[in-house]
Chains A and B, each alone.
Chain A
């Protein structure tokens, strides 16, 4: 990988005398001489090479392969036959897939909206609450815990002999609802996801709100702005970019949700969760590896590629939507 700059004849001179120019954004700076810059560029292969190689082989190449596999009928071994886009069109006639996709979208939008509403409210409450650091430290921790743990715990909580029912029995309710009936599983998963993720996003939003200088609030007070006006004209505009980042992060992570669903219905036999709770990640895994039927790698990767498209479209839309003039402060 020799770039033109590297084969340029060496211009003798002092080590790059213009560091300021290097920091300049914008169009590519004119190639500079200077042995230092040249030496540094020569480090490309030892420094960036290994990362680039591993990333290309273990990440980028598989993405390409996924596109390729999704255009074929393939059971993992044996012949691959060309299917064109049929895997994709078939997916939309597959009730299981549409159910999984609907669940993923519900997680993305419903849980996303709940997490943001709660996180933002928490941020406003915590902004001047005693013990805010302790609160933040505690509510952040669930982000570090495997979602499997929450799946099992909630399973026990709503077990017929579990905590919820024993609490209700104390309150005199002896015919509690069937918490873990098939229809209730997915709403429970959504509530659990909200519980787990709120703390993480609160931490990020708090970091954004904390950057706002106090003098802005004082200005508001002088101008006689009410609390809602202050929210509308100071807090929201100045944390808008943080909201954008959070929305992108949630979009990316919600499409991958797998563990909690996988274990939630774990006790319902043969290791596969009830199909009503499937997300598109579960669909991909189960279609390829569940072992019950002939694995269909084509359909499985096609559904994964569709989730990649979903993420791409949403992230591009979000960036468009959230793009405003950055408020410098």
Chain B
């Protein structure tokens, strides 16, 4: 039994010297596990690269040799998907809906979360629970009532209606995440501000929001990802092609292929248009995202 007794008490080396676990150490089981892990990682990366590469090839050569490489980087498929298959219009719609609804969700949720985090009364505890309960409701429950409601006020097949719905649906998670975040911020600054005669509202705007920027950006990006990928509500609420968001355009493209024959090149271009922005966001803000998604789950 090795131990890390002799290892220094701090520093990075300690991590690797924890000694063998059931899947630690140097057993054959562990070697196999490490190999499978890297295989899994490799397959994920290869899949993504493969997808983007195939988007530069035409359907016939894709089907003839699915492992082949593109002969040129002609953006033909992308141009075609963007202009003729409606992905361009859908991308604009997706950017608009995602941007507007995410910003508004956070703008509405942040003050509420701050208030709930800083009060400890029966009302605030009850309201926090009220918001949290929404986390457990599967979206198909409210699908039909939302459709009927919005139809009555002429907001189906409308991006404004979709924005509203996205805000409502995202509030439980955003309020939950930000309440936890505001609770973790120190109270001393607010007390100092109060002693200096700053009103609570001004304290929130001028002091707490700047400090909370990290958490607010995390909440915003999580909403961007959720709304960019949201499918079921958009599929229900949007009917005309010029209102489609990207997932819906993708579904309609796949369904058209049933009649017009497979256009895998165009399809892979469409998939790339859906995936690559998420990859960009992930590379840009990756660590913050992982932390936000796991930190929120801590309690």
Give the B-binding residues of A (Cβ under 8 A). 3, 5, 15-16, 19, 22-25, 28-29, 36, 39-41, 43-44, 46-48, 50-52, 54-55, 57-63, 65-66, 69, 76, 121-122, 124-130, 134-149, 152-153, 156, 161-163, 166, 199-200, 203-204, 207, 214, 217-218, 221-222, 224, 226-228, 230-231, 235, 242, 245-246, 249, 252, 255-256, 258-259, 262-263, 266-269, 271, 280-281, 284-285, 288-289, 297, 300-301, 304-305, 307-308, 311-312, 315
Contacts and interface: CB of A to CB of B under 8 A. Distances in A.
A305 B112 contact: no
Given A136-B290, A218-B5, A304 B175 contact: no
A51 B148 contact: no
A51 B264 contact: no
B170 to A, nearest CB: 10
Interface string B265-285: 001000100110011011000
Contacts of B121: 3, 5, 28
Contact of A146 (B33, B144, B247): B247
B134 A308 contact: no
A315 to B, nearest CB: 6
A281 B232 contact: yes
A257 to B, nearest CB: 10
Contacts of B254: 152, 263, 266-267
A59 B172 contact: yes
Q: Which 3 A-B pairs give the minimum distances between C-beta atoms? A: A58-B168, A221-B3, A65-B145
A314 to B, nearest CB: 10
B22 A124 contact: yes
B138 interface: yes
Contacts of A258: 140, 231-232
Contacts of B25: 227
A99 B24 CA distance: 42
B63 interface: yes
Given A147-B231, A311-B137, 19 more contacts: A41-B119, A43-B115, A43-B204, A48-B115, A51-B175, A55-B134, A55-B171, A59-B168, A63-B137, A125-B23, A134-B41, A138-B41, A144-B229, A145-B274, A199-B44, A226-B1, A230-B22, A288-B143, A308-B136
Contact of B138 (A231, A259, A308): A308
A134 B229 CA distance: 24
A106 B34 CA distance: 29
Contacts of A5: 121
28 contacts: A3-B121, A23-B187, A36-B200, A58-B168, A61-B145, A121-B23, A124-B21, A124-B33, A125-B30, A138-B44, A144-B225, A144-B281, A144-B282, A146-B229, A146-B250, A148-B231, A148-B250, A149-B271, A161-B66, A163-B67, A199-B44, A221-B3, A256-B138, A266-B255, A271-B255, A281-B140, A285-B235, A315-B136
Given A62-B149, A137-B286, A149-B274, A40 B37 contact: no
B185 interface: no
Contact of B200 (A39, A252, A255, A266): A39
Nearest to B134: A59
B111 interface: yes
B23 A156 contact: no
A130 B12 CA distance: 12
